[in-house]
Amino acid sequence: MTTATKTRLARVFIDGEAGTTGLEIRERLAGVEGIEVRSIDPTKRKDRTARAEMLRDVELVVLCLPDDAARETVALADELGPDAPKIVDASTAHRVADGWVYGFAEMSRGHADIIRSARRVANPGCYPTGGIALLRPLVDAGIIEPDHPITVNAVSGYSGGGRTMIEAYEAGHAPSFELYGLGLEHKHVPELQTYSGLSRRPIFVPSVGNFRQGMLVSVPLHLDTLPGRPCLRDIELVLDEHYRGSEFVSVAADSSARVSRLEAEALNGTDKLELFVFGKSALNQAVLVARLDNLGKGAAGAAVQNIKLMLGLG
């Protein structure tokens, strides 16, 4: 009997696999050695007993569900005690909840190891992934104080907006571009503030464009209001040091000299995240930008990264 025959595949159940994120995760997992994706009979997907049996039979479940449904599945898993699987929750239900690990592996030094040992991981939101990637290293380094007034602006492809928005754009019934979340209470703000290390609530202004996927997240800064009055290079060096050696996150060198414009779709189909520092030190102004695929590093790509860490495959 070969070693390959003896090796048992890690079983994963995607609860909500028919949705946009679920489909993306399943497609990515198909190429991961050592994982077997299990599916429940569609006629039994709301059958509590069948769902409990599926949870008991797998090592890990991924929740691609609305928040309330995700909480229900977690409650069902709680009833299984030691037979409960590990959980990666792609909803917003548990991103700042006690007992859950935030699933942005590059957030801080050693955080990937915390994910490896976790049983419950909350997958990050797409917008916060970009904002936290830019802000957390600068807050940790003291370049931005936790109570500094921060504004985060972002644009995403329509695939991040859920079934109703996707259907409206694909049917040609949606505008070319629109701002939303103008009540300043977008559901991503709590995780954006918490994991960026900010004590003051940031202003977050999201928008959506008439393209399927891709994302730009930007943070404008007045450099002369920051401790030590840093220059662009100071900020770039902190980011570069934080992400050096990362498989997925990179920092563009000397962005202002090399890049005059950015388009949102350049990283589509990848799990990459690119960071840029634009501006002019003579003007004491900067704009930090993160670019990613909202379905990649902003959703399914991050989920697969967390799954592999939690199952000892990455």
Query: Exactly one of 10, 61, 65, 126 is catalytic; which is it?
Result: 126
- List, in sequence order, every residue forming a beta bridge with 67; answer none if it has no partner: none
Exposed, middle or buried by CB within 10 Å (0-12, 13-18, 19+), for 247? Answer: exposed
User: By the 8 A CB rule, do 126 and 134 touch?
Assistant: no
Tell how strand 203-209 and strand 120-122 pair up. Answer: unpaired
Determine whether 64 is an active site residue. no
Cα torsion 7, 11, 17, 20: sign: negative
| Cβ-Cβ contacts under 8 Å for 288 (sequence gap 6 or more) | 134, 218, 219, 220, 221, 235, 275, 276, 277, 278
What is the torsion angle, in degrees rounded to the nearest 10, for the CA atoms of residue 97, residue 101, residue 102 and residue 103?
-140
User: Annotated catalytic sites, by residue?
Assistant: 126
